[in-house]
Chains A and B, each alone.
Chain A
Amino acid sequence: MQRHPGLVLSFIILVAILAAFFIFPQNFGLRNSPWRLGLDLVGGSHLIYKIDLTKVPSGDQNSVLNGLRDVIEKRVNLFGVSEPQVFLSRSADGDNLIVELAGIKDIKDAIKTIGETPLLEFKEVQGNGSSTEFITPLFTVNGAQVTLTGRHIKSAQLNFDNTTSKPEVAISFNDEGAGFFEKMTADNVGKPIAIFLDNNLIEAPVVQQKISGGQAVITGSFTLKEAKAMVERFNAGALPAPITLINQQTISATLGTNSLEKALLAGTIGTLLVMIFMVVYYRFFGVFAVAALIIYILLTLGIFKLFSVTMTLAGLAGFILTIGMAVDANILIFERIKEERKKGLAFSSSINEGFKRAWSSIRDSNISTIITAVILYFFTSSFVKGFALTLLIGVLVSMFSAITTTRLLLKAFIKDKPVSKT
């Protein structure tokens, strides 16, 4: 790097240009890969459900949670929302399920459907020529007709066959369920029984013989992963883990777009003003700071897009703030160079000294911002995490751009020829 400043600089500029193509492909007639924008910028709903696990035995909790997530994700996918997000989050006061739906207009149906308890059903299969019919058998208990559902299942477990060590799924029914299942298997020996969760067929094992005692084992040629997913779905449909909506945030697309436009406008104007300030105050050096700032912005946006960082309003604000901070290192360096020049050092050696002596304060001050960004990331809700992340990435890239880019620019363009005035 010391010997080939021009080469390294060309490389950085090349990467920045590539980043520009990557960030704004539509301006160059290329295919646009979309930004990941947060709900507060595109509109949508952010729902937090509290999962009540009090009735679930502690050993089954993880399985139930994953199964529940799986079930809710399947339901959410039915709304045709682009990239719905469903994830579990564990906080001090319990387990939460977070659902993010972007751009949905009528949230009412979504909320209603998500809140329903998963329905696990057992059905008989009747082949009718080429078509297959599923029939729910009815059992009579105390004169009332009931069906065999998830509430008759105590739990499901992943087991391994003793001899072949293939994965298998063991289901245990409660007393009532055991009776129903015994009758159902007796009627269907040699035929499959279809198991539905939320009207999705999850498995149709063939009955080998009548099963009494309420312990059923499903074997087959499935992988460990498939067997595990099946257990989770059974548990989600069987064990009662009711969810309640404790936090909802719905933002209309109008408001989201408005926020996005205003943030972009403020960011652009702010950046231009910073650039003007740098050129007016530091003249010749300021131009290099502006070039370094442009490279900084391109590289950072490129990283955000490359790693699909979700840009929320807070995240965007964090990035805009880093623009104001990114030139700080340049200011420290330029002031130091000015001082060294006053001491009578030659131009190129004053630049070297300036960088060397400004480094310790640049390092120390950026580390303090990194410390706060990391604390923010670990101590706050998901909305703030976006801010912390963009701030952190911004500070790291700005350190690089100030130290490396500006230095290379100065080295490449300044020779020890008499320069009239800076």
Chain B
Amino acid sequence: MKTPIYLDYSATTPVDARVAEKMCKHLTLEGNFGNPASRSHVFGWDAEAAIEQAREQVAALINADPKEIVFTSGATESNNLAIIGVASFYKKKGKHIVTCKTEHKAVLDTCRHLEREGYEVTYLEPEQNGLIDLEKLTAALRDDTVLVSIMHVNNEIGVIQDIKAIGEITRARGILFHVDGAQSAGKVSINLDDLKVDLMSFSAHKAYGPKGIGALYVRRKPRVRLEPQMHGGGHERGMRSGTLATHQIVGIGEAFRLAREEMSKDNERIRMLRDRLLKGLQGLEELYINGDMNNRVPHNLNVSFNYVEGESLIMALKELAVSSGSACTSSSLEPSYVLRALGRSDELAHSSIRFTIGRFTTQDEIDFAIEQIHSKIGKLRELSPLWEMYKEGIDISSVKWVAH
């Protein structure tokens, strides 16, 4: 077994070797290197054919029409294009947007940008399990609401929002519905023929494809309009100019094709490993699971180890590549805003670890992880004054702390 063990598949995934092999065929002189926009020769025609095949593969995973797929540089760009593009196009209709506090920064920061431009944004509070109360969402809608943007699967806690039900609510009110699907493609089945979703963002690198490529689904019936954010040669039906990156697009196409074929088999195995990990950790005292366990993708486990600080735990777990729900590992010392929005105390938010399992995780790796976590939690609790107080029966919340 090679260490460190990668348990951070929600951050990114390795490119599947089958995907990499296909991509390499679209780069060199011997390969299919043409500009897909070249109409006058076979180099262009071949590249265009590869692009259109990939577009079909992406559309097939989500049961959409290939004409509804716009290629972008990734889910961040897709989120920006969907939210700003719709807000600009429909600004005469209204300037109010509804989203949720636990969205990815690519949505939250885009909404903040629109607030500075004179739009109004309502940020819904999720329930303690991370899910949105549909009545609260309905209550937030106004006559001037033009867009609701809710993620399908949360990146930190893996909970799945009921986008089918939300789509029914927004469609009945004539409000557009955007879904950030970066964490859901290839993990949850998505049928856009059935869902009343108007725009949906996707990323390749969360699903064993390359970084730097994504897609935005833009519904044709009923037609959704948006203001392009990248101007130029009018590629992608005018919605996103820029020469199409053939090898990258072939990569997302092949990754999504494999996801469609292997999702159910992969999910079953990954769920078994995740449940094995959870079972292995449940012997530990003061362990808290963050987010709903039923409405959740099979590859995510987010837990807080009370009285152990997250960053020191990550340092102790150097044989495991995991991430702290707490943003301490970046330059900010704030605990995870997602866990805070669920009403978790600062202490528990500071103590959280996200394990995300994937296609290449093995049972031996999970067993090794369980063993490591048990030994390191034991060591850090021996070091923790809070653990000692807890063991002596002192209520930590009753102590008057001097905040600094």
Whether chain B is bound by chain A comes out as no
